[in-house]
Amino acid sequence: MNIIYTNHLVSYIKRHLLTSAPFLTPFKLLNAAIAAVEMQLGKLHCKSRPINYRIDPCTACNIRCPGCGAHQEKTKRKRLLSLSDFKTIIDKIKRFSIRAALYDSGEPLLNKNIYKMIGYASNRGIATSISTNFTLFEPNKHLDALMESRLTTLQPDLDGITQETYGKYRIGGNVETVKTGIEAVVKRKKETGEKYPIVEPQMIMFEHLMPEKEEIETYLKQVGVDKFTWKPDDWGFNPAQIKGAQKKKVSSRCIWLYLSMMIRPDGNVYPCCGKGLNRFAYGNILEESLDEIWNNKYYQFSRKLFTPGPDLEFDPEMENLPCHNCKLFQKARVMKPNQAISNPVE
């Protein structure tokens, strides 16, 4: 069993780079090494470029998980990433990109071009992964396309072995559909001898799910998945909820600001995949180059927040950067509050 935490550089490398081994090149490895050194040194202007990209193909979802904002009123404007825009993005990042995670706020399988996207990235030397509720996967319609796309890692959600348990969180989903899909992919891999995709079901450590934990693990071992992962509820923000797990010490250096980039369907770039970040884009990859975005004033100021030194002078332009309210990484300094005082009119 894996319990994943990606706040540490070592954990990050194990999770994202080792599974991408077939796509590594000397240049990409050198760039990754420089990025790791620049992160440890707290460089503000980076010579390296991000190695891991999260590209959101769809902001809509077909089920209604209570903890997800995809179906909420404030996020009801839905977007699909077009295939042409996706190709533009890949062509801009392919020199440095080791891995592209094609998912974030919605269900990636809602994008009808998802398998073409995966194939395009794979053919340009980029490892790919999708995290999916897998309820839209129909083996007789989609299995061939999935296998031909050369997807690197498939992470279907399996939050329950029975419909009663599964449906408490995955509202509107059918657990039997998910299980049938997992079984079909594993079976095809065994028949063809293919190594990919790595099938890695993932479960969230909900309290209501724990009574089925052993049964879920037994089922997955019998099916023959490559591995499976238990994810902390709310990604470690409430570690007390996680029995038998210890939250690892969090570095003051933000991995995202040195190694990763978040890209939405409209091309907007955000510093990470944290909740509520849509209010401030750091650039647009469809309109700007990777170089222009990666070392712009927003990225450099954000990196400065996690670099030891005196508090920063108030800058109204930087006031709304989401990094100010980061919950995962310990900020090394803060921006001084606005000292301007307005005189009341009597």
Please work out, in degrees rounded to the nearest 5, the angle formed at the alpha carbon of residue 257 by the alpha carbons of 251 and 260: 105
Q: How do residues 90-143 score in pLDDT, each as one tens digit?
A: 999 999 999 999 999 899 999 999 999 999 999 999 999 999 999 999 999 999
Q: What is the 3-state secondary structure (H, E, C) of the chain?
A: CEECCCCCHHHHHHHHHHHHHHHCCHHHHHHHHHHHHHHHHCCCCCCCCCCEEEECCECCCCCCCCCCCCCCHHHCCCCECCHHHHHHHHHHHCCCCCEEECCCCCCHHHCCCHHHHHHHHHCCCCEEEEEECCCCCCHHHHHHHHHHCCCCEEEEECCCCCHHHHCCCCCCCCHHHHHHHHHHHHHHHHHHCCCCCEECCEEECCHHHHHHHHHHHHHHHHHCCCCCEEECHHHHCCHHHCCCCCCCCCCCCCCHHHHEEEECCCCEEECCCCCCCCCCCCEECCCCCHHHHHCCHHHHHHHHHCCCCCCECCCHHHCCCHHHHCCCCCCCCCECCCCCCCCCCC
Tokens 């923000």 correspond to 237
In this predicted structure, which of 12-21, 45-54, 67-76, 170-179 has the lowest mean pLDDT? 67-76
C-alpha 122: how far from chain center: 18
Note the pLDDT tens digit of each residue in 176-204: 999 999 999 999 999 999 999 999 999 99
Q: What is the pLDDT of residue 33?
A: 94
Q: How far apart are the first and last CA of the chain?
A: 67
Q: What is the pLDDT of residue 164?
A: 96
Instruction: Compute how many other C-beta atoms are within 10 angstroms of the C-beta atom of residue 345.
Output: 4
How far lies 18's CA from each of 189, 324, 330, in Å? 20, 32, 27
Tens digits of residue pLDDT in 199-225: 999 999 998 999 999 999 999 999 999
Which range is least confidently modeled, 1-15, 19-33, 236-250? Answer: 236-250
Burial class of 52 by CB neighbour count within 10 A (0 to 12, 13 to 18, 19+): buried
Q: Is 243 exposed, middle or buried (0-12, 13-18, 19+ CB in 10 A)?
A: exposed
Residue 286 sits at φ, ψ, to 5 deg, of -80, -20
| Integer Cα distance of 346 and 93 in angstroms | 58
Rounded distance between C-alpha atoms, residue 16 and residue 24, angstroms: 12
Convert 202-229 to b/e letters by CB count within 10 Å (16 or more is b): bbbbbeebeebeeebbebbeebebbebe
Residue 97 CA to residue 99 CA, distance in Å, equals 6
Q: Which pair of tokens denotes residue 312?
A: 């920063």
Contact 284, 25 (CB under 8 A): no
- pTM metric for this prediction: 0.88
Q: Which two tokens stand for residue 34?
A: 């420089």
Of 91, 89, 117, nearest to 102 (Cα)?
117
Residue 299 has pLDDT above 50, yes or no: yes
Which band of pLDDT confidence, cut at 50, 70 and 90, is reported for residue 37?
very high
The CATH code belonging to domain 2-29+49-284 is: 3.20.20.70
